[in-house]
Amino acid sequence: MKRLLAAIIFALTPLALAAQSSMPGMSMPAKPPVTPSTGVSVFLDAETPMSVFNIAALQSLPQQTITAVDGHTGKTVAFTGPLVADVLRKAGVPPPDEAHERILHSLVRATGTDGYFVIYSLTEMEPAFSSGKVIIALEADGKPVESGLQLVNPLDAKPARWVHGLRALVLTQLMPTALEKLPPPSK
């Protein structure tokens, strides 16, 4: 009986913690500091960078200022930096009117200096498909971002996909599988 009770408590603890962190006034635990990044490399499906953008190159792109609640502190912060879509375009990713299907079928893996990575659909980062403005933040409330570069998505309910110390964006285009190429089942 004690083992069963221990197993139930062990299984429910993550759910209780998740519920608490989504309650008003509760914030996510602070992320430990990462090594600041000094630039971001953009890769297309492989290991050869399409482009590398240092901070000066990112500053030369059109800047967007967005406000978002920092889930670690609970404070509203004004983040400034270029749209990820503008960085990808500058790296050679074609615009939506030339690559509609490619954008619909692509993922972006964003990786930080600590190895932490997250996945976005490319459509989430493309203004032609989404009302969100995913940016590479260079400034937070007018000061340089402590981690050098930070990927910020103001539409995320929690900052779990905000990447501190952003160092790489890797695009991957998904191809249909053999199962998806089969004709639809007949009735």
What distance in Å separates the CA atoms of residue 89 and residue 122, rounded to the nearest whole number? 12
Give the separation between CA 129 and CA 120, rounded to whole angstroms: 13
Q: 1 CB contacts (<8 Å, ≥6 apart)?
A: none
- Whether domain 39-173 has CATH 2.60.120.40: the reply is no
Number of helices (H) and strands (E) in the chain: give both, helices first: 5, 12
Where does the pLDDT of residue 8 fall: very low under 50, low under 70, confident under 90, or very high at 90 and above?
very low
Interacting residues of 93 by C-beta distance below 8 A, sequence separation 6+: 44, 99, 171
Taking the model in full, what pTM does it have?
A: 0.78
116-129 pLDDT, tens digit each: 999 999 999 999 89
Residues 58-114 have pLDDT tens digits of 999 999 999 999 877 889 999 999 999 999 999 988 888 888 888 888 999 999 999
Edge-first strand order for the sheet with 135-137 is: 135-137, 150-152, 163-164
Q: Cα(first)–Cα(last) distance of the chain, in Å?
A: 51
